[in-house]
Each structure stands twice: as structure tokens, then as C-alpha cells.
Amino acid sequence: MISKVSPGIQDAVAGIEDGSTVMIGGFGRAGQPVELIDALIEQGATGLTVVNNNAGNGDTGIAALIGAGRVRKVVCSFPRQVDSHVFDAKYRAGEIELELVPQGNLAERIRAAGSGIGAFYTPTGVGTLVAEGKETRTIDGREYLLEYPLRADYALVSAFKADRWGNLIYRKTARNFGPLMAAAAATTIVQVDEVVELGALDPEAVVTPGIFVNRVVAVGERPWLHDGEFVGTEKVA
Amino acid sequence: MISKVSPGIQDAVAGIEDGSTVMIGGFGRAGQPVELIDALIEQGATGLTVVNNNAGNGDTGIAALIGAGRVRKVVCSFPRQVDSHVFDAKYRAGEIELELVPQGNLAERIRAAGSGIGAFYTPTGVGTLVAEGKETRTIDGREYLLEYPLRADYALVSAFKADRWGNLIYRKTARNFGPLMAAAAATTIVQVDEVVELGALDPEAVVTPGIFVNRVVAVGERPWLHDGEFVGTEKVA
Amino acid sequence: MTGIDREALAARIARDIPEGAYVNLGIGAPTLIANYLPDDLEIILHTENGMLGMGPKPEAGRIDPDLINAGKQPVTELPGAAYFHHADSFGMMRGGHLDVCVLGAFQVSERGDLANWHTGAPDAIPAVGGAMDLAIGAKDVYVMTDLVTRDGTAKIVAECTYPVTGVRCVSRIYTDLAVFDVTPDGLAVTDVFGDTTLDELRTITGLTLLDRTP
Amino acid sequence: MTGIDREALAARIARDIPEGAYVNLGIGAPTLIANYLPDDLEIILHTENGMLGMGPKPEAGRIDPDLINAGKQPVTELPGAAYFHHADSFGMMRGGHLDVCVLGAFQVSERGDLANWHTGAPDAIPAVGGAMDLAIGAKDVYVMTDLVTRDGTAKIVAECTYPVTGVRCVSRIYTDLAVFDVTPDGLAVTDVFGDTTLDELRTITGLTLLDRTP
């Protein structure tokens, strides 16, 4: 019987080596796998390259990982936010490297890695600073940049529910980068609210098929749900 | 109020011009929009370039369109089947042009058109006859071919259910090329079993968002369902 | 010289968006436009973090942290909504499926180059997000901005001096003083607000401006 | 010289597929392998027209024309199945996510080049389908074939004379007479069936063959 379910969260993050490239899902805090990141901090891996849309918010999640000094480099589209003080300080102190990638090119580079595309031509960024040093080509009268796949050793993803084969569904805009990163990493580790019986997920509605998932860990219901009903909160997490 | 619902099937196919490139969904007969194709035959457009995985089965659907002499060229991955006698005869008589594209490159070229990718490097077909005349490039030690987007004037797609905004869900392996073609055509025309109330489709499970759909027409329940229950048939359609 | 305030400008832009349009409203002032879209018209809002059919902000206490817009503000879901991942969402933009995108600007050139992501300040931490994708990501890219900065400099210019976000991507510029269409012959003024005159606009911008006012 | 029949060969290949593997069984003889996968092991079958978790053929009268495999034969859905469109399905293959793919062959070269789509006959209508994607679309590409054609020609060759489907893509060749691993040093025989000898295999193929039999 296949079971990708890890007994505990430390089992889920076991083996992540120093110097790994780790994709971390989420757009801001939506879909950020905070419990897995906390486990990774405890696990101790350092010298990491982190791929995420942002460079951490507040003092938790990715910000905490950066604050703990475990991140050598961030690949993201939007590091500077009102609450990105942890990254900002490290960056200004020259203690962290930044590779800036426009958001859609970031998503497409991750997709290319997962789907075996060697490189692709994108119109986004043509004529801007991010095009510097990049190959360009005019196709059908429009100019494009050549972009390469972005792969990872590990992906940490937050989904809503999983089955023991690793099939995943997400919740609302927390889906964001999860399905892409799951396919682009050698080892994909997923936290979910709940692991359901095999067959309980509608095969038409599975967003990430289990083929892209290596480990699943249940972390309990998100605080804005109660027994599966949406009850809301006063603020964004 | 937005309504993309066409009152009748002839309204749905109105305006398709002679010489158009028409993508037609389906893999074999699964997901082939037979009612829309019949309407197109009646509508009369000719000199068409048809993009589909195959080149027609038996004497209905795409085979009937080819048989009626309306198709100048077929772009597909697998024209030769046990029941592709209509295409076979036209091809051997030199009355129809064929562009052969490996199935995954076909899918990815259609996806590239829908998603604004100028071109992409694929490993499929390297060193084979389909690579002849194509640019190649070695990336990270692996050889790739450069492939370009495949666009269409019209897409004819068969989905399972739609709402009046054109959001679509499909049924099982009849999904195949539908979501890709819907995004790659200037005008996308969809036949569904049923048009449901706005809000009746689960937003997490919508496969083709309405932004890719221009016209929807209901053609009634597929014969292997009865009041929404699967009852089966004796053979593949 | 008088113009209109930001709310009135948002209302003005809202009037130009037809029923059935798929629209992305950029972070900042453009989000105000949503408040002026007529209730009896269906206009479908896209948020690039992965949703079509975005609704207004939730009632107090009903915030869903899984349901946010590109500005990371809580939003709601309308009947007919759909969720998708980032590659599909940005493919939707890059593939030219959105009808209208409205963005803020630091500068816009008379050819339609847009600068809105980076002031070029040497100590700034660069952050682009979806700006460059949005700039090329709609059939029509509209800019919503004051014509003049607080220190009196025109934001519509012959050439952008700030790093650009996209090249020849803007089709129309809505400002507090006038509306400009970007045309192959140069900028054309289609509306003036308050008592603003074309000559004043020419003086402010230093540009040749075509008169296409009604 | 005796070997094993096609059913026995399918059973032999099935034994090499571990629990938890994601497997694509090509059209034709490889589909027989599904019948020999042990019921107590979970092995997940992929069909490139858009499904993981494919089950056996349906009972009489319960055919679902919306649920077919790549050979366009009716199949069923197992608990844990998932559907996806063609770009996702072929991305899954091209991206190297499948563990095993088993294909038929016209010819395989000693370096692992595969020819299985086109005999090169001048009057043939070319049809490739997913063959070229499958050839490069798994961590291990296995070939299942008779070693010798009906007219006595070996299908394992120094160089393919038929048009190739993929270059250096095959990792193992299962035939009615023996199993061959494609190694950097050449072909290695790992199993012989019936009373077949290595020298007979060398005579049939005309190739240098390494002896890695147990």
C-alpha cells in the first residue's frame, strides 16, 4: 500500500541538506507553509536558496527562516513589502543575495522545470532592467526574452486536503504557486489541513496529482475554518 | 448581464469564414464536438485548416467534415487509424495536406499560443524526422528543438457543463485538448450537455475559466448518462 | 487650472469599461475603480494571484486569509468565480486575454512606455512583482495617475528617465487634468477636466498634443 | 532454441515494476502487463490522454466513451485517480516524472535508439501520436518485443535502419529470448529464457553482448 503520509512534521522535512534550493509556496501569507518552515528551522538546514514570490512577511514563516540566518539567496519577484523588515535588514547588510524575476516569468520558469521545457521566449521584461544580459529574439514582429527553467531540490507546499497517494486540492487563492513548485522539485513536501481517504477527492477536481508529491503531513484545520465551515477572522493571517 | 449562451447551434457556428484555422477538441471520439462539427458542415465554411489530435474516425464528426471536402489541411499527431478511411483516401489522392506534430509538442504549441509564449525548446523529436529543418540547441547538456505556438481563428470544444459566463467543466478523459484550444483561438465555441446557473460550478473545480470562451450551446445529455447518472453503453462512441 | 479628484477620476475610468470586460485593476489608486463599476453591469475582475470573478472586501470578521487580491488585501468571491495557479493566471495575461488593465505610473512616455516599478534610487531594494507582466498583459493598458508630481514635474514625458516597466505598452492615460490616447501620431487629448486647457497641458508636458476633445 | 510467450514476457516485466511506481504502458503488447501486476501492490497507471490511476476495462454494458486510454479502448477509474489536460499530461512525461514506460519496437539499437513509429515505407501515411514523447518521457524506458521478426531479422541492431522515435532513450529490452540492459559499455544480457544461450543471441544480433546473467 502506498502511503506518502509522514507521521510527524520533522519526518516530513528530514534530509533537507545544507545548500539546498528550496521552493516555498505562497503569495504573501496565503498558501505559505508556515508549519513546514518552522519544522525546517528546527531541522537546521542552512545556506539555502529560497524560491518564493516574496521574501517574507512580519517575523514568521519565511521571514523567520531568513531571520535565523539559514538563507543564502532569495529568488523572488517582490521582496520589498511593508512588513519585509527581516529581509530588508539582511539585504542592506549584504548578508543575503537577491535574484529578482518578474512574477509571471517566475511562475513560467517553475512550470518549465516541472514540464521538461528547456527554455522559452517571454515578452515580459523586454526593454527593461531585467532583460540585461539576456538573449532576445524577434518572433512574428514581437520581441521576446529567453528564460530558463527554475528547478529545486525541495518544494514546501501548503494545500488544503490530500489523500495517501499525494493527490492535492487547494483552497481559493492559496493555490498560487503550489501546483507549479510541486512539479519542479526533486522532493515535494506538502502540509495539509487533513488527509482524507483514497477516493474521497473528486478526480475531476484534483489540482496536483500525487505523482508530483513525495511526502504529506497533516497540520490540522486552518483557524478560519471550523469543522469544515468558513467562520472567518478579523485579519489576513 | 453577460450571456455567452447561443440560442441554437447554427448561431454558435455563425461567421466561421472560408480558409479559417479551426481547432477541434477531442482525442479520437472522446471530447469530439460532433454536434458543432455537424453544424459547421451545414454552415458551409470550406478551405479550413483543422487542428486535432487525429484526422477523423469512421464517417462522422471530423471525418464527415473532411469527407464533405471542407478541409484543406490537417495538423495532427496521429492521422492513420483503423477507421480513418475518409482522411486516408483524401491524403492518398493528394487532396489534403498534412502537418504531423508529436502529440506532446502539439499540446504544448497550443498552450504556448494561449499563454503568450513566443517559442519553446522541447526534447521531444530530437534526432528524428520531425526535427528536420528545425532549430536545435543544447541546454545543460541535453538537446532540444525549437517549436512555435499554434494559434487558431476558432476552437470547437466539447465540455460537460458551462455557466452563462462560459466557465467550463469537462468529464473524465474527454477533457484532453479542450482547455488548451479554448485559450489558443480568437473565438472559442463550446458545446455542453447542460448550461447551469451562474454559481453552480465549484470555483475550485472550474477547468476552463470563461475568459477563454466566447459562445456556449447546450446539446443535451450524452447518451451514456441518464439524469446525471452514468448508465454506460456497449461500445465507445 | 482645476481638474478632478482621484475618486472622480476612478468614476470616469469606470464609465469606459463595458459590460463583459475582463479587467485587472492594479495595486493602489486603480483599485478605487471597482467602487464605481455600475451594479447592474457584469464586469469580471481578475487578480493575478489566481482568480477571476473577484468580489468586494468582506464584511467585518469574515476575512478569509486564503482569499486575497494581488495587493494582499482580503476580497470575496462572486458567483461564477474561478481559481487557477500562477502559471495559468499569468498565461492569461501574457496571452492577451484580459480586455483592460489599469495601472499606476511614475512616468509614461508619449510613445506609451511605462515606468512604475523602480525610481532608480541606488539604495532601493528592487521589487517588480507582476508589474512587467501587467504592462504587457491586456488588450488595453490604461494608466491612472496625477499628471504632475507633488514637486511639480510632469509624469507624461518624451522619454522615461526612470527604469521602464514595459515598452510601448500603454494605450490610454487618465489623469486628474485630462485623458490622453497614445496614437501612432503621438498623444491625443480626448477629455479635459475642470477649466484645464490644451495649451496648459502642452506647457506642463512640453509635448506636442493632438486635440481630439469632443 | 526456446523462449517464452508474450503472456509470460508480460508477467516477467510486471515483476520488475515496484509498488508505488508511476507507469505508462504503451499501445499493443505492453498493455498486457497490466494483467500481471499483483493485486496486492499499488502501481499507478498513466494514460497520456489525461489520467493517472487508470483501472481495468469496464464490465459489459458499462463502457464510458468519456473514459478511454491512449489506445482509445474503454477503461475505468480507480480510487485516487486524477484527470488533467494534454499539456499537463505530456508535461508530466517530458518533465521526467514517470518511473517506467514500456513500449513496443520495430528496432532498438545497441545504444538505446528506438524505432517504433514508422517503417519508412514510402507510401505509408505518417502517424506518430505520443510515441516520441513516450520515448523520452520516463526515468526508465523499457522495450517489450520479440527479438526476431517473422522473416528472421533481429530487432536489436547496431544502428536503426527505420526512422527513429528517440535517441539513446531505451534503458532495457525485454524479448521472448532474453532481457538486455543498455549500458555505457554496450548491451548486457541479464536473463535468458528457455534453452537460449548467449552465443545464440550473439549470432542472432551480430552484436557484442556482455554476460550479466546471474
* pLDDT tens, residue order, chain D (214 aa): 789 999 999 999 999 999 999 999 999 999 999 999 999 999 999 999 999 999 999 999 999 999 999 999 999 999 999 999 999 999 999 999 999 999 999 999 999 999 999 988 888 899 999 999 999 999 999 999 999 999 999 999 999 999 999 999 999 999 999 999 999 999 999 999 999 999 999 999 999 999 999 9
| Contact between residue C96 and residue C138 where contact means Cβ atoms under 8 Å apart | yes
pLDDT of residue C1: 76
Asked whether residue D34 is assigned to any structural domain, the reply reads: yes
Does pLDDT of B15 surpass 80? yes
Asked whether residue D128 is assigned to any structural domain, the reply reads: yes
Average pLDDT value for residue range A195-215: 98
Burial D57-74 (b: 16+ CB within 10 A, else e): ebeeeebbbbbbbbebeb
Q: Is B203 close to C82, i.e. CB distance below 8 A?
A: yes
Average pLDDT value for residue range B3-8: 97
Closest CA to B237 of B38, B77, B34, B79: B34
CA distance A95 to chain C (A): 14
Does pLDDT of A237 surpass 80? no
- Residues from chain D contacting residue A113 (CB–CB below 8 Å): 95
Nearest to D125 among B79, B110, B178 (CB): B79
pLDDT of residue A235: 83
Is some CB atom of chain A closer than 8 A to the CB atom of D94? yes
Closest CA to B151 of B116, B110, B104, B122: B110
* Residue D16 burial (C-beta neighbours within 10 Å; 0-12, 13-18, 19+): middle
B215 falls in which pLDDT band (50, 70, 90)?
very high
When mean pLDDT is compared across A13-17, B16-20, B25-29, D120-124, the lowest value belongs to D120-124
Q: Which residues contact C155 (CB under 8 A, 6 or more apart)?
A: C105, C106, C107, C108, C145, C146, C147, C148, C149, C175
Q: Is C82 close to B1, i.e. CB distance below 8 A?
A: no
pLDDT of residue D122: 83
Does pLDDT of C209 surpass 90? yes
Asked whether residue D121 is assigned to any structural domain, the reply reads: yes
* Residue C63, φ and ψ in degrees, nearest 5: -70, 135
Model confidence pLDDT, tens digit, residues C37-48: 999 999 999 999
Which residue is it, cell 490537417? B74
pLDDT of residue B234: 87
Average pLDDT value for residue range A59-81: 96
CA separation (Å) from D127 to A62, B76, C73, D106, D120? 50, 9, 52, 15, 11
Residue C48 annotated among the catalytic residues of the structure: yes
Q: Are strands C140-145 and C156-157 parallel, antiparallel or unpaired?
A: unpaired
Which residue is it, cell 495559468? C88
CA distance B168 to B207: 6
Q: Residue window 83-142, chain A: list those with CB within 8 Å of chain D.
A: 111, 113-117
Distance in angstroms between the alpha carbons of the first and the last residue of chain D: 20
Does pLDDT of B117 surpass 90? yes
CA distance A104 to A61: 23
Asked whether residue D160 is assigned to any structural domain, the reply reads: yes
**Does the CA dihedral C118-C120-C122-C123 come out positive or negative?**
negative
Q: What's the domain count of chain D?
A: 1
Does pLDDT of B64 surpass 80? yes
Listed in order, strand segments (DSSP E) in D48-145 are 51-55, 76-83, 100-103, 107-109, 114-115, 140-145
Q: Is A169 close to B204, i.e. CB distance below 8 A?
A: yes
Mean pLDDT of chain B, nearest integer: 97
Does pLDDT of C123 surpass 90? no
Average pLDDT value for residue range A154-163: 98
Model confidence pLDDT, tens digit, residues A106-146: 999 999 999 999 999 999 999 999 999 999 999 999 999 99
CA distance B176 to A212: 20
pLDDT of residue A79: 95
Q: Is A203 close to D53, i.e. CB distance below 8 A?
A: yes
Q: Is D95 close to A204, i.e. CB distance below 8 A?
A: no
pLDDT of residue C37: 96
Model confidence pLDDT, tens digit, residues A62-71: 999 999 999 9
Is some CB atom of chain C closer than 8 A to the CB atom of A28? yes
D195's grid cell: 534453452
B46's grid cell: 470550406
CA distance C185 to C188: 8
| Contact between residue A114 and residue D94 where contact means Cβ atoms under 8 Å apart | no
Nearest CA in chain D to B80: D127
CA distance A178 to A171: 11
pTM to 2 decimal places: 0.98
Is some CB atom of chain C closer than 8 A to the CB atom of B206? yes
Average pLDDT value for residue range B25-54: 97
* Residue A168 burial (C-beta neighbours within 10 Å; 0-12, 13-18, 19+): buried
Model confidence pLDDT, tens digit, residues C54-109: 999 999 999 999 999 999 999 999 999 999 999 999 999 999 999 999 999 999 99
CA distance D99 to B221: 38
CA distance D105 to chain A (A): 24
Q: Is C96 close to B203, i.e. CB distance below 8 A?
A: no
The three-class DSSP label of residue C12 is: helix
Judge D/C contact: 3 or more CB pairs < 8 A: no
What residue numbers bound the domain in which C68 lies? 6-211
Nearest to A163 among D20, D80, D91 (CB): D80
Average pLDDT value for residue range B193-205: 98
**Torsion angle of alpha carbons C20, C24, C28, C29, nearest 10°?**
-30
CA separation (Å) from D207 to D82, D158, D201? 44, 7, 8
Which residue is it, cell 535517441? D167
Nearest to B117 among A122, A171, A207 (CB): A122
CA distance A80 to A90: 12
Average pLDDT value for residue range B25-37: 96
Q: What are chain A's domains? A: 17-101+150-230 (3.40.1080.10)
Average pLDDT value for residue range B77-92: 94
Q: Are strands A161-162 and A136-139 parallel, antiparallel or unpaired?
A: unpaired
pLDDT of residue B237: 73
**Torsion angle of alpha carbons D116, D118, D120, D122, nearest 10°?**
160
- Kindly report the CA angle at D137 between D136 and D143, in degrees rounded to 5? 70
Distance in angstroms between the alpha carbons of the first and the last residue of chain C: 20
- Residues from chain D contacting residue B128 (CB–CB below 8 Å): 132, 163-167
Judge A/B contact: 3 or more CB pairs < 8 A: yes
* Residue B97, φ and ψ in degrees, nearest 5: -95, 150
Nearest to B100 among D94, D126, D137 (CB): D126
pLDDT of residue B217: 98
The three-class DSSP label of residue A180 is: helix
Does pLDDT of A169 surpass 80? yes
Compute how many other C-beta atoms are within 10 angstroms of the C-beta atom of residue A132.
7
Is some CB atom of chain A closer than 8 A to the CB atom of D65? no
Q: Which residues contact C202 (CB under 8 A, 6 or more apart)?
A: C208, C209
Known catalytic residues of D are 48
Q: How far, rounded to the nearest angstrom, does the alpha carbon of residue A5 sit from its chain's CA centroid?
A: 19
Average pLDDT value for residue range A41-59: 97
pLDDT of residue D89: 98
pLDDT of residue B122: 98
D183's grid cell: 549500458
CA distance C86 to B44: 40
Q: Which amino acid, one-letter code, is at D144?
A: M
CA distance B50 to B30: 17
Burial B106-139 (b: 16+ CB within 10 A, else e): bbbbbbbbbbbbbbbbbbbbbbbbbbeeeeeeee
CA separation (Å) from B96 to B79, B87, B203, C29, C126? 12, 8, 42, 55, 55
Nearest to D163 among B77, B128, B236 (CB): B128
pLDDT of residue C119: 84
Average pLDDT value for residue range C199-205: 96
Is some CB atom of chain D closer than 8 A to the CB atom of A37? no
* Residue A97, φ and ψ in degrees, nearest 5: -95, 150
| Contact between residue B204 and residue A169 where contact means Cβ atoms under 8 Å apart | yes
Q: Is D94 close to A204, i.e. CB distance below 8 A?
A: no
Closest CA to D107 of D181, D40, D159, D58: D159
> Residue D170 is part of a domain; what is its CATH number?
3.40.1080.10
